[in-house]
Amino acid sequence: MAETYKGEFYCVKCKEKREAEGEVVVANGRKMAKGVCPVCGTKLNRILGKA
């Protein structure tokens, strides 16, 4: 089962913080949440910390 993150992401296209849900992945030794903006559909990333 994949870990999920529900919280605030910053959308670069909208230039606003958005509430979204995303999947947690490990990239370059860091945990990151990857989601989709509910308004414009742009991919969102949030760095959560070291893995």
* Residues composing the chain: 51
pLDDT digits (tens, 9 = 90+) for 1-50: 679 999 999 999 999 999 999 999 999 999 999 999 999 999 999 999 88
pLDDT of residue 49: 87
Dist CA 19 CA 28 (whole Å): 25
Dist CA 41 CA 37 (whole Å): 5
Tell me the β-bridge partners of 18: 9
- Compute CA 45 distance to the chain's CA centroid, rounded to the nearest angstrom: 4
pLDDT of residue 2: 78
Dist CA 47 CA 51 (whole Å): 10
pLDDT at 51 over 90: no
Q: Is residue 30 within 8 Å of residue 50, measured between CB atoms?
A: yes
Quote the number of domains for the chain.
Answer: 1
pLDDT of residue 1: 67
Residue 22: give its domain's CATH number: 2.20.25
Provide the residue range defining the domain that includes 42: 4-50
